[in-house]
Amino acid sequence: MIKKKDYKKTWIALLIAAAILILVVVLDNLPSKVVPSMLLTVLQKGAIYALVAVSMNLLNGFTGLFSLGQAGFMLLGAYTYAVLTVPVARQASVYQRYPGGGLGFSVTESLGNSMGQLGLFLGVVLCLILAGCVAGLFAWFIGLPVLKLKSDYLAIATLGFAEIIRSVVQYEGLGPVTNGSNLLYGFTGFSDFHMGELKLTTMMPFLFAGASILIVVLLINSTYGRAFKAIRDDEVAAEAMGINLARHKRMSFVISSFFAGISGAMLAMFQASVQATAFKAAMTYEILLIVVIGGIGSVTGSVLGSFLFVGCSEWWLRFLDNETILKNFSAKVQFCALLAALIAVVVGFGLLRLKRSGRKIIFRSGKRIAVDWGPVLALALAALALGWDVWFLLSSNLKLPLLRSGFRMVVFSVVIMIVVLFFRKGIMGDQELWDLRRKRRSAKAKAGAGK
């Protein structure tokens, strides 16, 4: 009986996955007037970031190891992939500063020449797995000394490692392989995939990331995943119940790095070029941010968070970086009305919070009653913003203030602060999408039993 239910669930999951892939292919092939090219960029990069965020969540959220080495492992994956797949004909121009550099063969090229698109696909899969393996191998060695550390110390050590890797890759002596600090380019990317006229550029990252995330989810729900969660919840108890801490931590670290390596390779495919300087600690922080926004310990949270993050940083908040001058007074009225509406929504939520917190702001005869200052502060800020809005409407200036290059990051930081202050559990907390349905059902059952 249980088995039947399991099969049903598997079928539903497969159907949803197939639907998403088909939708992505359709989006990819619609004329660019209908589908903005930005959407495709966001989808591709979002899928890649989703994988690396899930891999980081496996380590930070499910095993409780606070590691900040993700960018380092991504870099290893990206370089492994790039070095293996630069076409032979282009190696001379790519490695022009290191004559005779390059491997002298290209996995995807040779497979692609002999078997066409299928060969190309197999070659890319092979190289992605190799990229993951290189990252995993490094993780295994680094894990030996580093995983004895706990919390902040582990974070510092892994962060240091990532920086070391970045410097080593740029080392002149490795130039014939890594091209020193110069770009590697010309290798097989997502845009090389097509089926006749049908473009598969966006489907490929979805396919690879989806398959990898599926494996992580299966792992998390297996007996090993449960052991990881036990280590996160209480190490001492886990060890006393026979879970080998060193072994399981290393396992989690290596697997996480394996998938970080794969996503690094995919990032290289997406960007069509690799340079070590791009894989800075800032990249790790971006991923950490996605994990926190999505919810630590939630795979769906990480996936949603990464699309949201990439969407915001690449697309929706781009306008904040452009200096904007409104065309005429009516445009200004529209802008001010929009802002006022936004403020009204914020104020509404603030009032809702006040009401729900159940604290009355009444001063009885000299007796102060505790006030929840968060919403009060928010309301005060909203009032200030509204005042400014009115002032801007009445002034003769048509140029929108504040909007200039770099302002996007300021807004982003503020959004993050708000998330961390008020929605500390992130979008999903430690729940998954499929948990929510089950929870509602069990709540219903309980209410029914109560009657």
Among 151, 244, 322, 357, binds another protein (CB under 8 A): 244
| C-beta of residue 206 within 8 angstroms of C-beta of residue 20 | yes
- Mention every residue, 6+ apart, whose C-beta is less than 8 A from residue 210: 17, 20, 21, 47
Nearest distance, CB of residue 243 and another protein, angstroms: 6
By CB under 8 A, tell whether 376 contacts another protein.
no
Nearest distance, CB of residue 241 and another protein, angstroms: 5
Q: How far apart are CA 149 and CA 145, in angstroms?
A: 8
In this chain, which stretch among 142-150, 241-249, 358-366, 392-400 interacts with another protein, using CB under 8 A?
241-249
Choose between 75 and 299: whose C-beta lies nearer to another protein. Answer: 299
Tell me the site size for another protein, rule CB under 8 A: 28
| C-beta of residue 51 within 8 angstroms of C-beta of residue 213 | yes
In this chain, which stretch among 78-86, 203-211, 235-243, 309-317 interacts with another protein, using CB under 8 A?
235-243
Q: Which residues pair with 399 in a beta bridge?
A: 325
By CB under 8 A, tell whether 442 contacts another protein.
yes
Among 152, 172, 234, 323, binds another protein (CB under 8 A): 234
Q: How far apart are CA 66 and CA 287, in angstroms?
A: 13
For 83, 128, 257, the CA distances from 105, given in Å and listed in that order, are 9, 16, 26
Q: How far apart are CA 450 and CA 113, in angstroms?
A: 68
Choose between 87 and 297: whose C-beta lies nearer to another protein. Answer: 297
Choose between 154 and 230: whose C-beta lies nearer to another protein. Answer: 230
Three-state SS across 182-203? CCEECCCCHHHCEECCEECCCH
Q: Comparing C-alpha atoms, which of 75, 68, 271 is closest to residue 167?
A: 75
Choose between 115 and 241: whose C-beta lies nearer to another protein. Answer: 241
For the chain, helix (H) and strand (E) counts, in that order, are 17, 4
Q: Which residues pair with 175 in a beta bridge?
A: none
Within 187-226, the residues that bind another protein by CB under 8 A are: 215, 218-219, 222-224, 226
Interface mask (CB under 8 A) for another protein, residues 276-305, using x and -? ---------------------x--------
Choose between 166 and 250: whose C-beta lies nearer to another protein. Answer: 250
Nearest distance, CB of residue 247 and another protein, angstroms: 9
Among 75, 146, 165, 243, binds another protein (CB under 8 A): 243
By CB under 8 A, tell whether 237 contacts another protein.
yes
Choose between 42 and 255: whose C-beta lies nearer to another protein. Answer: 255
Q: How far apart are CA 104 and CA 199, in angstroms?
A: 30
8-state DSSP, 273: E
Among 314, 321, 372, 430, binds another protein (CB under 8 A): 430
Q: How far apart are CA 411 and CA 427, in angstroms?
A: 19
Choose between 226 and 359: whose C-beta lies nearer to another protein. Answer: 226
Nearest distance, CB of residue 248 and another protein, angstroms: 9
By CB under 8 A, tell whether 230 contacts another protein.
yes
Q: How far apart are CA 138 and CA 170, in angstroms?
A: 17
Which tokens in the block code for residue 435? 């948990």
Q: How far apart are CA 159 and CA 155, in angstroms?
A: 6
| C-beta of residue 266 within 8 angstroms of C-beta of residue 250 | no
By CB under 8 A, tell whether 148 contacts another protein.
no
C-beta atoms surrounding 164 within 10 Å: 12
Choose between 368 and 446: whose C-beta lies nearer to another protein. Answer: 446
Choose between 164 and 237: whose C-beta lies nearer to another protein. Answer: 237
Positions that interact with another protein (CB under 8 A):
215, 218-219, 222-224, 226-227, 229-230, 232-234, 236-246, 251, 297, 430, 442
